[in-house]
Amino acid sequence: MTRYYHNIRCDHCGKFISKTADWYVNFGSYGDTKPPDEIFLCEKCLKKEIDYYRKVGRMPHHYIHANYEEDLAKELGFVIDENSPWGDWRKNE
10 is a site residue for Zn ion (CB under 5 A): yes
Q: How far is Cα of residue 37 from the mean position of the Cα atoms in its chain? A: 12
AA identity, residue 24: Y
With contacts defined by CB under 5 A, name the span among 38-46, 59-67, 72-80, 83-91 that binds Zn ion.
Answer: 38-46
CB of residue 15 to Zn ion, shortest distance in Å: 5
Determine the size of the site formed for Zn ion (CB under 5 A). Answer: 5
CB of residue 44 to Zn ion, shortest distance in Å: 5
Cα separation, 38 vs 26, in Å, equals 7
Beta carbons of 51 and 82 less than 8 angstroms apart: no
DSSP label at residue 67: T
45 is a site residue for Zn ion (CB under 5 A): yes
66 is a site residue for Zn ion (CB under 5 A): no
Cα separation, 42 vs 9, in Å, equals 8
- Interface positions with Zn ion (CB under 5 A): 10, 12-13, 42, 45
